[in-house]
Amino acid sequence: MGLGQNSSVRAEWIAAVSLAAGAAAVGYLAYKKFLSKDKCCKAMVNPHIQKDNPKVVHAFDMEDLGDKAVYCRCWRSKKFPLCDGSHTKHNEETGDNVGPLIIKRKEA
């Protein structure tokens, strides 16, 4: 192998490595832009309920529930924390499958 061939192989090798590095960089940037699940980019679940509170919490006594209680889990209900069926529209718009939490007394 002559000196000319050696430098030709080296140039091809450098070109191939440069191309691979460029493709990897583009792939990484595309991943970060479209697929990364960073905390800063996540959508909020609660769009408007008690936003002035650091945490939304509701507590109920079991005795006060009656025979059945239906609670919202999509955060879209106008009667929150009770369900008003808003999850149906939310599911149609987003492709989600969220439904209410239903608590009922055991039948004896």
Active site residues: 55
Give every CB contact of residue 68 below 8 A, 6+ residues apart in sequence: 102, 103, 104, 105
The partner residues of 76 in beta bridges, in order of sequence, read none
SS3 category, 42: coil
Are 101 and 70 within 8 A, CB to CB?
yes
Q: What are 79's two structure tokens?
A: 């009667």
